[in-house]
Structure 1
Amino acid sequence: MIGEGLIKGSDCLACHNATKKIVGPAYVNVAAKYPATEENIDHLATKIIEGGSGVWGAIPMSPHPAISKDDAKEMVKYILSLKK
C-alpha cells in the first residue's frame, strides 16, 4: 500500500508501531477506534499534519506540516486497514 511506504519513509515509526504502543498508540488500536470513513480519514490526516494531544494521553503528537494532505490520507488509509 502507498500509505505503508510513506510511513516507512517518515519519522512515524519513531513513536508508533503497527501492533504495540511506543510513545503513541499502536496502529491497530487507532484502527479499532476509528471506522474507515471519509470523515475519519480526513480528520486523522489533519491530525498528522497539525499534531495534537489528549486523545491517547498527555504526550502530544508533533505536527508534520511537510506532509501533504493527500499523503497523510494515504497513511491513514493504511493504518485503518489494520483493523482486526
Structure 2
Amino acid sequence: MAGAHDGALDQYRAALELARAGPVPYDQARAHTGIGDVHHRLGDTAAARDHWRSALEIYSRLGTTDVGALRARLSGESVSRGCSR
C-alpha cells in the first residue's frame, strides 16, 4: 500500500506546486489537506499536522467552511478514528 500512498503524495505535491503558481489560494489549501491526509495514513502525524496547519491558515484567511474539519483533525479527533476524506 505504500506505493499507492507515494503516488498520492506525488500527485498532491504536484498540485500544490501548480496551486502556488496560480491565483487561487483555496487550491493550495486543498493540496495541503490532501498531503496531510496521506501522511496521516502513513503514520507520520507530525508531517500531517504541518500540512493541516498550512491548510487551516489559508482556509481561515479565506473564511471558508473547511476550517471546522481541519480543526477536528488537528485536535486529534480524526487522528483517533481516522481521516474521512
Which band: TM-score by shorter chain? Answer: under 0.3
Largest Rg, 1 or 2? 2
TM-score (norm 1): 0.27
> Larger % of helix: which?
2
TM-score (norm 2): 0.27
Greater relative contact order structure (CA < 8 Å, 6+ sep): 1
